[in-house]
């Protein structure tokens, strides 16, 4: 929804207001509709609200420049994307009715109307139609306990003048970002890392760089970033920062259990009805907006479910709409003459709902020309270029006037949508001694997806706790690892990389919690998959001033889904079985029982070997890459040539990692 930024010099030193303006301006793409600042002298209690070039003139706020040279040790900056109450009343930083608390807030509290009604019963009076004002009242009524009452996505900071502390919080799954860094007695925070770099130096976090290059992983340490000294507030956390305390007091207000415990097992019918009801209510809440709402549509189960549920709801609200314009607009990423073209599946949803479908056609030439802008917006490297297709979707959405987009992210992590989950479930069955059922699950999946049974068996054995490590190490014996070969000895020296491959694999197995379906789902929801996906989703959408909303990440739906029995989630060789049952009658059966999934992919191998080959060769052969000392340039160039020749041992995501990391380093490290 917006961009937030703040600096607090807790030793009383004045904040450089021009630095605050520069940092906040870097976030303008997150909020082009309004601009605001709060200047605080925490010693005297003086508080001044002021504006900038994009501030609504009706507010009659003094300019930030008018206060240059004055002494303020805490300054908050804000950029607004107007979603609720489009009037100037939604301006931030916003104060509580009594002026005691001030907030900068990025996100949406979807149940704000229900909370507003409840808080009115306590005597609170509201001046705006925003959810921001509801957060302030909830904080004053319940303190930090207010967080457990919110249903939404958020990252905010509240300056409490009465207690002289800064209270910060992030939503349960980290849909909205919150970065922070300490410099001496000072602290800086914001929605994107690039803004923090106006205050703290840009230094690479070499252990994270090493993990990215050597293992192709992200987020095993989700509070770490690629920048040394810059951290991400953990999802589901609140933090209180006081003047006389070096570090904030951070506490978790919500997290999933390591292993769910249920008192009674529901029937499949009851469980599917509950999932459908919760998804429907989640979509209902996420349709609340004072600007147009559309949907991303890939032609798969997840996004199709959201589109169809939303469409039925919109028609119920607006009547039959016979002969009228479509009630919903969708945007899809497609390709001409490609196996990645989803239009035959998308068309089934369009015919079922009558939505107005829009299409974007990502191209290699587009990525070539935009790659620096694309990587700059992402802030940190990613594991593949599929985020570019999503980038194109949000650009197309904005072109059609859509400011809010519903999305299907989170369903795969919650309902075991990824292919290996069948093997994870089969491994769980084997550990329980249920050999026949495990074999049946694998055979049904194999026949439906035409995969070699040997591949599935190897994958299953690698998921069994007591076999995972020796089997994986045996499988690696004698095999060439291009990631490992590309590492430069200088990075090994600087990052202290002393592990053998066996040590690395042992660590991965320990973190993964192999052998139990829910343990693996917990990992995908909290460390290995979802955090990266949500970071990409936030940056891709906000690059075009579009807000993305994720109905599958309603905490009530996640809690219910996570506590389901394994065989409700994976059954008869189907992943996401319970969701397929829940959407019966809501979406076309051809989509509901579609065995494959694509999402918004890009033809990476084709692009990297063909139209983008000169880009790869230029970057990988560059002097900057050689001098950086992270990759062995001769090995990288040799391996890229092997990749272009079609060597299957060198995957597209490996060569992308080399390119992505070097361009990221140029943009964020070399230019400062």
Q: End-to-end distance of the chain based on CA atoms, in angstroms?
A: 29
Distance (Å) of CA 513 to CA 507, 509, 532: 10, 6, 19
Q: Are 22 and 7 in contact (CB under 8 A)?
A: no
Helix axes 465-476, 501-512, angle to 10 degrees: 150
Other Cβ atoms less than 10 A from the Cβ of 145: the count is: 12
Residue carrying structure tokens 């933090």: 239
Long-range pairs, 87-92, Cβ under 8 A, ≥24: 87/128, 88/34, 88/56, 88/58, 88/59, 89/127, 89/128, 89/129, 89/130, 90/34, 90/128, 90/129, 90/130, 90/132, 91/34, 91/36, 91/55, 91/56, 91/59, 92/2, 92/34, 92/36, 92/132
Distance CA 244, CA 525 (A): 36
Q: So which residues are the catalytic ones?
A: 2
Give CA–CA dist 112/133, Å, rounded.
Answer: 9
C-alpha–C-alpha distance, residues 123 and 126, integer Å: 10
Nearest to residue 481, comparing CAs of 498, 501, 497, 507? 501
Strand ranges in 507-591 using DSSP code E only, listed in sequence order: 547-549
Residues 6+ apart with CB under 8 A from 151: 109, 110, 111, 285, 554, 555, 556
Q: How far is it between the farthest Cα atoms of the chain? A: 77
28 close to 204: Cβ distance less than 8 angstroms: no
Consecutive H or E run containing 208: helix 206-215
Edge-to-edge strands, sheet with 46-50: 46-50, 34-41, 74-80, 2-9, 186-190, 179-183, 230-232
Structure tokens at 565: 């029995």
Q: Using an 8 Å Cβ cutoff, are 187 and 457 in contact?
A: no
Three-state DSSP class for residue 230:
strand
CA distance 283 to 254: 22
Tokens representing residue 655 in the block: 């060569």
What single-letter DSSP state applies at residue 464? Answer: S
- Number of CB atoms found within 10 A of residue 601's CB: 19
Q: If 0-12 CB within 10 Å is exposed, 13-18 middle and 19+ buried, where does residue 411 land?
A: buried
478 CB neighbour count, 10 Å cutoff: 6
Four-residue CA torsion sign, 206, 208, 209, 214: positive
Helix (H) or strand (E) holding 45: none
Beta-bridge partner residues of 49: 38
Q: How far is CA 325 from the centre of its chain?
A: 33
> Which alpha helices (H) appear in 404-526, and where do they start and end?
411-415, 420-431, 435-449, 453-461, 465-476, 482-486, 489-495, 501-512, 517-523
């Amino acid at each position: 929804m917006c961009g937030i930024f703040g600096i607090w010099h807790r030793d009383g030193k004045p904040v450089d207001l021009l630095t605050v303006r520069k940092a906040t301006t870097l976030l303008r793409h997150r909020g082009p509709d309004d601009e605001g600042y709060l200047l605080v002298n925490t010693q005297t209690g003086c508080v001044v609200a002021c504006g900038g070039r994009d501030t609504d003139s009706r507010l009659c706020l003094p300019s930030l420049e008018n206060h240059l040279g004055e002494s303020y040790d805490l300054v908050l900056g804000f950029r607004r994307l107007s979603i609720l109450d489009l009037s100037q009343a939604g301006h931030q930083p916003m104060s509580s009715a009594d002026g005691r608390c001030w907030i900068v807030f990025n996100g949406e509290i979807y149940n704000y109307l229900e909370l507003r009604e409840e808080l009115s019963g306590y005597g609170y009076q509201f001046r705006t139609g925003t959810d921001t004002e509801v957060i302030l009242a909830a904080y004053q009524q319940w303190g930090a306990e207010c967080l457990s009452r919110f249903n939404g996505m958020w990252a905010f900071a509240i300056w409490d003048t009465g207690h002289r502390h800064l209270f910060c919080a992030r939503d349960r799954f980290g849909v909205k970002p919150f970065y922070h860094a300490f410099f001496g007695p000072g602290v800086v925070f914001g929605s994107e890392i690039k803004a923090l770099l106006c205050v703290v130096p840009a230094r690479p976090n070499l252990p994270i760089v090493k993990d990215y290059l050597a293992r192709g992983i992200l987020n095993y340490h989700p509070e770490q970033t690629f920048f040394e000294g810059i951290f991400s507030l953990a999802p589901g956390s609140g933090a209180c920062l006081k003047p006389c305390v070096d570090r904030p007091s951070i506490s978790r207000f919500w997290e999933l259990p390591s292993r769910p415990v249920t008192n009674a097992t529901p029937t499949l019918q009851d469980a599917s009805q509950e999932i459908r009801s919760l998804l429907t209510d989640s979509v209902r809440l996420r349709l609340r907006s004072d600007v147009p709402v559309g949907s991303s549509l890939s032609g798969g189960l997840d996004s199709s479910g959201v589109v169809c549920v939303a469409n039925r709801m919109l028609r119920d609200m607006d009547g039959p709409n016979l002969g009228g314009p479509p009630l919903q607009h969708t945007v899809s990423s497609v390709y001409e003459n490609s196996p990645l073209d989803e239009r035959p599946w998308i068309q089934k949803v369009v015919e079922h709902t009558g939505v107005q479908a829009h299409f974007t056609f990502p191209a290699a030439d587009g990525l070539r020309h935009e790659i620096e802008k694309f990587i700059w917006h992402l802030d940190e490297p990613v594991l593949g270029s599929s985020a570019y297709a999503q980038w194109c979707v949000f650009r197309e959405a904005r072109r059609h006037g859509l400011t809010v987009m519903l999305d299907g992210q989170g369903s795969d992590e919650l309902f075991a949508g990824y292919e290996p989950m069948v093997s994870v479930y089969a491994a769980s069955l084997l550990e329980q001694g249920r050999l026949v059922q495990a074999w049946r699950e694998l055979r049904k999946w194999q026949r439906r997806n035409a995969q070699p049974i040997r591949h599935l068996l190897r994958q299953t054995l690698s998921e069994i706790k007591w076999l995972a490590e020796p089997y994986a190490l045996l499988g690696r014996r004698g095999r060439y690892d291009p990631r490992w070969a590309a590492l430069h000895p200088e990075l090994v020296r600087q990052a202290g990389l002393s592990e053998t491959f066996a040590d690395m694999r042992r660590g991965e197995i320990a973190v993964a919690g192999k052998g139990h379906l829910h343990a693996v789902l917990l990992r995908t929801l909290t460390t290995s998959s979802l955090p990266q996906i949500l970071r990409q989703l936030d940056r891709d959408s906000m690059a075009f001033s579009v807000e993305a909303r994720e109905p599958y990440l309603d905490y009530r739906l996640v809690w219910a889904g996570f506590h389901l029995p394994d065989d409700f989630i994976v059954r008869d060789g189907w992943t996401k079985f319970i969701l397929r049952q829940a959407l019966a009658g809501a979406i076309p059966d051809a989509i509901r029982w579609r065995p494959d999934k694509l999402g918004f992919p890009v033809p990476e191998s084709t692009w990297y070997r063909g139209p983008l080959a000169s880009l790869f060769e230029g970057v990988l052969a560059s002097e900057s890459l050689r001098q950086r000392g992270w990759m062995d340039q001769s090995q990288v160039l040799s391996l890229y040539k092997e990749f272009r020749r079609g060597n299957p041992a060198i995957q597209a995501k490996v060569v992308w990692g080399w390119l992505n990391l070097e361009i990221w380093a140029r943009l964020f490290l070399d230019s400062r």
